[in-house]
Structure 1
Amino acid sequence: MASASTPTPGTDANAQLARRIPEEIATEGNFDLIDEICAEDFVDHTPMWETTGRDEFKSRMQSLLDSFGEFSATVEETVTEGDTVAMRLTLRGTHAGEFMGVEPTGKRFEVGNMVFTRIEDGMIAERWVDPDMLGMLTQLGIVELPEM
């Protein structure tokens, strides 16, 4: 297992490629990189939507960053098996714009996120993204948990 801060020797090139979406695209907003590292028919599966193709993915990423100011996606650890890279991330941001029809609350969130990325011919072909949506919506005050 390789951690975000100290990759082990021989860290797989697939892991380095997979990390570029959270680190350079989501955190830094470098959307031009999508054309360089994602396959033309790239598919991104999330609980909110399924995105197909580079242009649709750019639009979804822009929408995400418009919704959440100071957004960051920190890779905590990676595990690579064949053509698949599993990543555990921490997502952070401030609800600064409309998200899923909800007006901005101005509140901050910090949640975990699991991402599986499939690499094909040196390009990112597909991702399955599973953020802690309940945790995020609770921290933003959008959802209230029942008392235990």
Structure 2
Amino acid sequence: MSSTEENKRIARRYPEEVATGRNVDLIDELETEDFVEHGPFGQETRGPNADKERMREFLAAFPDFEATVEDVIAEGDTVAMRVRLRGTHEGEFMGIEPTGRSFEVQNMVFTRIRDGKVAERWIQPDTFALMQQLGVVELPAA
């Protein structure tokens, strides 16, 4: 298997096995000790333990969460993925009380692989559509 194909396989494991498969402990195997995730609101998650805590909180807010990888492109040590996210808001999320509403949005993920592990991820979901579908924001009337 080429290194770009192996990098694609490694990058896909997070949305498919950690998020959708609820295997949060797999993060220890997947990520480097100095892992950094750059989130959509400028926040950073540093290290596998912090990432596991963040993911557990997210899955508690959206217990039926699914992440479906739709496209994957790799070059060098970087993998770009287009991922469809779905879930129902049943727990607190970013200080927002559960709405019981479902969402389906697109997400762009760039993953940098180092020595067979995820060293860095940049996450860019369609947060406006997410908040709109959860009923948190509305488009102004035209």
Measured against the shorter chain, the TM-score band is over 0.9
Pairwise CA distance, 1:37: 1.2
Q: Distance in 2 between matches of 1:57 and 1:94?
A: 21
Q: Which runs of 5+ in 2 are unaligned?
A: none
Pairwise CA distance, 1:147: 2.1
Amino acid at match of 1:88: R
Matched, 1:94 2:88: yes
Partner residue, 1:69: 63
Matched, 1:107 2:97: no
Tell me which protein shows more helix as a share of its residues: 2
Q: Distance in 2 between matches of 1:147 and 1:92?
A: 27
Q: Distance in 2 between matches of 1:88 and 1:47?
A: 15
Query: What is the identity percentage for the equivalent residue pairs of Structure 1 and Structure 2?
Result: 59
Partner residue, 1:6: none
Number of aligned positions between the proteins: 140
Matched, 1:46 2:39: yes
Q: Distance in 1 between matches of 2:95 and 2:37?
A: 21
Partner residue, 1:142: 136
Secondary structure of the residue aligned to 2:93 is: coil
Dislocated runs of 4+, deviation >2 Å: none
**RMSD (Å), alpha carbons:** 1.3
Q: Distance in 1 between matches of 2:38 and 2:23?
A: 20
Partner residue, 2:18: 25
TM-score by length of 1: 0.91
TM-score by length of 2: 0.95
Secondary structure of the residue aligned to 2:24 is: coil
Aligned counterpart in structure 2 of residue 85 of structure 1, from 74, 79, 82:
79
Aligned counterpart in structure 2 of residue 12 of structure 1, from 1, 5, 10:
5
